[in-house]
Amino acid sequence: MHPADTTDPQPSATAPATARAVVFTLPSSAAGSEREDTIAVEAPLELRIGGRPVTVLMRTPGHDEELVTGFLFGEGVIADADDIIAFERPDADHANVLNVRLMVAHRAFNLDRPFYSNSSCGICGKRSLESVELHAPAVQSSLTISRTVLTELPERLRAAQPVFARTGGVHASGLFTAAGELVAAREDVGRHNALDKLVGRALNEGQVPLSDRVLLVSGRVSYELVQKAVTAGIPILAAVGAPSSLAVELAARFGITLIGFLRPSGMNVYANPQRVMD
């Protein structure tokens, strides 16, 4: 197996992904104590396009260019990574500002969201029901994966989560082969941000659509994660938590195999089970 491209906890181009905080530990039946603890950083990233502020993404610093690439792709602002001419930071003191120069500048201002996007919601602030509707083709893929391999994926993803190991405060997304090899993993306080980072990486590598990859996400599966998987052409989406009703509906409609409650002991398959073998 080749080594997976996992998350770098403190990429040099941005602010740290973790911080220190003083906490008071209060056990149920003993005196409390004071100590330092490591916590995940949540910081605003001001996204500018052509020098004009477009939105603020609340994220964990690290892989910001991948995050923005995946975000712009998911929003339909870019068709592929070649639409981006360059990423620019105003100066070394502005690690939380990122300017993007695009090939077709006027497309950048069709983003249908307000100036602020929080880390818990990938579609918060959409202005109408129509803007939530997904306009994309169904995912076409002959990829299959065995139940045995699927049950091994959560442990492999957990091993590639250095920020979670230190803080317990971030989500993760991982891309796997059908044989269970971890290709890449990303972490973030926002589950949709972690996925955007993965999609941004894949765009930069010319790998979209990801029709031969399995996506595993920590936590639950909501609408926006399925939406992003459809846009990236990912045929199998698994999670350690539960899916929402709209996530199940969208996965069934767009041909994605949706798996929830993935454990070593088994799983629930909510849509398109034909890709899960034996």
User: What amino acid positions are annotated as catalytic residues?
Assistant: 121
Q: How far is CA 195 from CA 63, 67, 145, 234, in A?
A: 12, 8, 21, 11
Strands 33-40 and 18-25: antiparallel
Q: How far is CA 11 from CA 48, 65, 187, 260, in A?
A: 21, 11, 12, 32
For 233, the token pair is 């052409």
Pure H helices in 205-257: 223-232, 245-253
DSSP label at 245? H
For 206, the token pair is 């010319």
Residue 171, H or E segment:
strand 171-176
Name which of 230, 221, 219, 238 is nearest 180 in CA terms: 238
